[in-house]
Amino acid sequence: MLEVDLKPARTFSPGELEQVTEAIVESFDLGELTRALRFKWGMVLANFVNTQQGFYGAVGELVAWTERRKKTVELVALACAERPDHATLCQLAQACGLSVPAIEQKYDLSKPLPPKPAGLEAMVARHSRLVDYARFLSRFMSFGDRVCRIETPYMLGTGFLVASDLVLTNFHVVEEVIHTPSQGEQVVCSFDYRSGSNLEESAPKKKSGKHKKARPTVCQLASQWLVAKSSYAKSDIGEPGEAGAGELDYALLRLAEPIGKTPGMNAEERGWFSLAPEGALLAVRDFVVVPQHPDGETLSVAWGNVLAFNSTATRVRYDAITDNGSSGSPCFTADLDIFGLHHATDTANRPTFNQAVPLNLIAADLKAKNIAIH
């Protein structure tokens, strides 16, 4: 994302960063900080800083990491929410323009969720650093050029480009085809499948056919189409337990042509998303945006709140509406930073959440398999 599209983020002076570090060291121990980050940010601290050094050094690395990502304000908010009686943390939060009630509303999960904004534009105005809704919508529509409807002989899904000729989707979307590789020639990836030039909010059920649909750009898979895969966890299908680091429910598919280098609907190069090893920083009650092809229909968008992270930090749970055919959709923050691969819903009789696999875990898995993406 170009920085010119973003409102300026609060930065901290070296002295302020030292204050933040000292306040966290005073009010947490390593175990407490690790738990807070895991359950409120879905972050495994040891994956980002050296936790074997002294605690002060580990916190210093964490603060430096958040400052590089312009997220130190969020770290201060989290620390203040966990330690509301710590005077220095509260003073730092107030200096950042944060109020203790607002911080508690975000991070105290015993409190009810605040009402959703009335529409996507209101959500962007309230929660996104993008300078205005027009900039958000323009960028989001261009990102839509990288999202495709996937049709196999067995099911429908969604996918998105992570290289000029590579599509990422869920393992379970193409699972049956993986078992019979020759059926790869029957898999169709349809880009630019929209209702006219507009993006529809929410994830509608089957439509009446009254909307004029754009002719999609169809792409087949290459002859050697399966680049990498990781199966889903038993917990994803209702069994006890939590998903491990190797249970990421993804499949990386090679297309027959580098469609990412071709023009999208805005006549500019379509492009693709990068799988960053660190990933976007996400916190509970942040807003998420999910472009998708629900029920195989034209591209639409759903949005909602992050509700929680699972105990192994391998799943992000949210209340954005999805449907059959949405599996494999990309998930974005309100600033349009990509963070996840939507893959499942709550398996309870009365589902309360949908969930995604963090993309940084997929990037790490591909690296471990010596698969480079360009």
> pLDDT category, 132, cuts 50, 70, 90?
confident
Averaged pLDDT for residues 230-258: 90
Taking the whole predicted model, whether its pTM rises above 0.85 is answered as yes
Share of the chain above pLDDT 70, in %: 91
Residues 89 and 220 in one domain: no
Contact 148, 168 (CB under 8 A): no
Residues 329 and 205 in one domain: yes
Tell me what pLDDT residue 201 has: 56
Q: Is 219 within the bounds of a domain?
A: yes
Rg (CA), the chain: 21
Q: Is 133 within the bounds of a domain?
A: no
Tell me what pLDDT residue 203 has: 44
Give the max Cα distance, the chain: 65
Q: Is 91 within the bounds of a domain?
A: yes
Tell me what pLDDT residue 214 has: 64
Last residue of a domain, one of 87, 107, 127: 107
Residues 245 and 354 in one domain: yes
Q: Is 3 within the bounds of a domain?
A: no
Q: What span, in angstroms and rounded, lies between the C-alpha atoms of 272 and 189? A: 15
Q: Is 114 within the bounds of a domain?
A: no
Contact 260, 219 (CB under 8 A): no
Last residue of a domain, one of 92, 107, 122: 107
Q: What span, in angstroms and rounded, lies between the C-alpha atoms of 213 and 299? A: 10
Q: Please, where are the H alpha helices in the chain?
A: 14-27, 30-41, 55-68, 72-82, 87-95, 100-107, 120-127, 133-144, 171-179, 359-368
> Residue 146: which domain range?
138-368
Averaged pLDDT for residues 329-347: 90
Q: Is 123 within the bounds of a domain?
A: no
Residues 89 and 181 in one domain: no
> pLDDT category, 12, cuts 50, 70, 90?
very high
Domain count within the chain:
2
Residues 92 and 164 in one domain: no
Q: Hey, how many other C-beta atoms are within 10 angstroms of the C-beta on 17?
A: 17
pLDDT above 70 for 2: no
pLDDT tens, residue by residue, 186-207: 999 999 998 865 555 554 444 4
Domain of residue 297, CATH code: 2.40.10.120
Residues 21 and 63 in one domain: yes
pLDDT tens, residue by residue, 38-74: 999 999 999 999 999 999 999 999 999 999 989 999 9
Mean pLDDT across the chain: 89
Tell me what pLDDT residue 373 has: 87
Tell me what pLDDT residue 206 has: 46
- The token pair at 294 is 């629900």
Q: What span, in angstroms and rounded, lies between the C-alpha atoms of 124 and 129? A: 8
Residues 241 and 348 in one domain: yes
Q: Is 373 within the bounds of a domain?
A: no
Query: What is the SS3 assignment for 178?
Result: helix
Residues 103 and 182 in one domain: no
pLDDT above 60 for 75: yes
* CA angle, residues 56, 60, 61, in degrees to nearest 5: 120
Q: Is 132 within the bounds of a domain?
A: no
Query: Residue 253 pairs with which residues in a beta bridge?
Result: 167, 226
Contacts of 240 (CB under 8 A, 6+ apart): 234
Scored b (16 or more CB within 10 A) or e, 183-206 reads: bbeebebbbbbbbeeebbeebbee
pLDDT tens, residue by residue, 264-273: 988 899 999 9
Residues 162 and 297 in one domain: yes
